[in-house]
Structure 1
């Protein structure tokens, strides 16, 4: 297992990610600076050999993958962002006007997914990466990737709340002997 790694890339900046608006199914394009940072990620990834490259179906993740040099990344719905339901497009501050103290990690998103539902999807990604061995590269979204990391580490989905993840960043999950660990985060 020590050679198995999961490389995680959050998509470049969009209008809504910059504004702190919860974005799942709304298929926004990257901003120009989001495109620039995606290209810059390509330079960091160019010399790395990946056995498996996956991307969320959302345009912002697929375009990040393309600009980073992975136009043939396999699209999988399992990497889609947490479905926010009625909270799509709102900021946490706006949601808290009606539901004080709400967080995605502890609250309910009416019409959206639960943490357990998101974790079930991402458990399949973890299983694929571990089965593939070597390095797997994924392009996806802030909350879904934080849940992915929590599941890699054997934590419940709400463990993702401990892992801040900015746009257009690279993180690496792996092993220290037989223990799943974070090798690099939010770089």
Structure 2
């Protein structure tokens, strides 16, 4: 995006901080876990640098914040914006299952190798290895179901941002959620089928940025780099 595109609406992806299951790699969907002390520091560090008046994520520029209802995402929202954030008072915050983590079903709490072993015992994956993007989860969410709910949220966001593509009104959006579903959201934002490969990484407490090319609602894009606002003083 060129400098003249600075007013184009953006969508910020905020991943929750570290939990105990983040550390050991267990699939964490509906299980309610607290952030570790390190996880809280990750989010606070991100918030100090990137969230606030005149910073990358300026509350004044936000139209809506969509937050996963899981405890770890709620805590991350509070740490990023402050427990008494004016955003809540202005009814700009929505806690919604639309951006909850992928439904892992029978794989909840398992390690990747445990899932592979379980499926092998069931006689599955004979022709190719299990791939959640294509195969979904036993007793949980399929790729098609995840696509449907994320596409619904994306349509809502586009309806919000469509009238203001040239900065007529600040309508930035923040999603506070989970690593897997935020990567899935990115695929669908770009119009990429869930099963198509797209290597992405978003660390705990990290922020990603999506937007549009040339102020065009039909040209969704992701920002591979960002320039931070100048600090005053």
Same fold (TM over 0.5): yes
Q: Which residue of 2 aligns with 1:80?
A: 100
Q: 1:57 aligns with which of 69, 92, 99?
A: 69
**Which structure is higher in strand share?**
1
Long gaps (5+) in structure 1: none
Q: Which residue of 1 aligns with 2:144?
A: 116
Q: Which residue of 1 aligns with 2:229?
A: none
Range with bigger deviation, 176-185 or 163-172? 176-185
Does the 8 A contact of 1:12 with 1:38 survive in 2? yes
Q: Which residue of 1 aligns with 2:203?
A: 166
DSSP-derived class of the 2:135 partner: coil
Provide Cα deviations, 1:53-90, integer angstroms capped at 9, x if missing partner: 11000000110000001543320110110000000001
Q: Which residue of 1 aligns with 2:44?
A: 39
Residues 7, 118 of structure 1: CA spacing in aligned structure 2 closer, same or farther, 3 A cutoff? same
Q: Which residue of 2 aligns with 1:13?
A: 18
For normalisation by structure 2, the TM-score amounts to 0.74
Output the CA distance in 2 between the equivalents of 1:159 and 1:78.
21
Residues 162, 125 of structure 1: CA spacing in aligned structure 2 closer, same or farther, 3 A cutoff? same
Does the 8 A contact of 2:101 with 2:181 survive in 1? yes
DSSP-derived class of the 1:173 partner: strand
Output the CA distance in 2 between the equivalents of 1:89 and 1:131.
36
Output the CA distance in 1 between the equivalents of 2:79 and 2:27.
24
DSSP-derived class of the 1:67 partner: helix
Output the CA distance in 2 between the equivalents of 1:41 and 1:160.
28
Q: 2:157 aligns with which of 129, 137, 140?
A: 129
Output the CA distance in 2 between the equivalents of 1:180 and 1:84.
28
Provide Cα deviations, 1:22-55, integer angstroms capped at 9, x if missing partner: 0001011100011111112222121312111110
In the alignment of these two chains, the number of paired residues is 185
Q: Which residue of 1 aligns with 2:130?
A: 102
Residues 14, 160 of structure 1: CA spacing in aligned structure 2 closer, same or farther, 3 A cutoff? farther
Residues 78, 108 of structure 1: CA spacing in aligned structure 2 closer, same or farther, 3 A cutoff? closer
Range with bigger deviation, 41-50 or 51-60? 41-50
Output the CA distance in 2 between the equivalents of 1:159 and 1:10.
22
DSSP-derived class of the 2:220 partner: strand
Coordinate RMSD, CA, aligned: 1.9
For normalisation by structure 1, the TM-score amounts to 0.91
Give, in angstroms, the shift of residue 91 of structure 1.
1.1
Give, in angstroms, the shift of residue 106 of structure 1.
2.7
